[in-house]
């Protein structure tokens, strides 16, 4: 396996662990969300919304962890890539369309991590295709 894919696997595992932490924080106390992410309209954040955010984040965490374990599984790889696109889209919509988020460090970090992850995973696709035996694994 290429060195880049090993780094990508570590990155995916790290994002999975961090996402699990955010998920647990969302289940425990919904103030985490309006103090860090939805600072534009904190009155819209309630326990139900926080738990929904927590479930989505936990699901993303599981998918990313599984991809880190089995990075050669193309279907799982693409699903993981989509989790980052969806996360980026969510943050951008909250910033620019709904106005519930403001450009603070609490928003910019969750925007940068999926953006970097998207770039890394797109580069990783080239490494997956270049590996010997990748055609056999597809069939």
pLDDT in tens, 3-25: 999 999 999 999 999 999 999 99
In a domain, 138, yes or no: no
Q: Is residue 139 part of a domain?
A: no
Instruction: Write out the residue range of the structural domain in which residue 110 sits.
Output: 3-132
Please name the residues in contact with 92: beta carbons below 8 A apart, sequence gap of 6 or more: 111
Write the pLDDT tens digit of every residue in 57-108: 999 999 999 999 999 999 999 999 999 999 999 999 999 999 999 999 989 9
Asked if residue 137 is part of any domain, the answer here is no
Burial 111-138 (b: 16+ CB within 10 A, else e): bebbbebbebbeebeebbeeeeeeeeee
Global confidence as pTM: 0.89
Within-domain flag for 24: yes
If one counts the domains in the chain, the total is 1
């Amino acid at each position: 396996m290429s060195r880049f894919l090993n780094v990508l696997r570590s990155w995916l595992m790290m994002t999975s662990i961090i996402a699990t932490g955010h998920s647990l924080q969302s289940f425990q106390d919904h103030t985490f969300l309006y103090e860090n992410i939805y600072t534009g309209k904190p009155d819209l954040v309630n326990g139900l919304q926080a738990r929904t955010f927590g479930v989505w984040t936990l699901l993303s965490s599981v998918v990313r962890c599984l991809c880190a374990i089995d990075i050669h599984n193309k279907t799982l790889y693409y699903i993981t890539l989509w989790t980052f696109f969806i996360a980026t889209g969510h943050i951008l919509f909250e910033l620019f369309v709904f106005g519930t988020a403001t450009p603070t460090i609490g928003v910019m970090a969750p925007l940068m991590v999926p953006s970097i992850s998207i770039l890394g995973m797109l580069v990783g696709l080239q490494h997956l295709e270049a590996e010997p035996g990748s055609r056999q694994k597809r069939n």
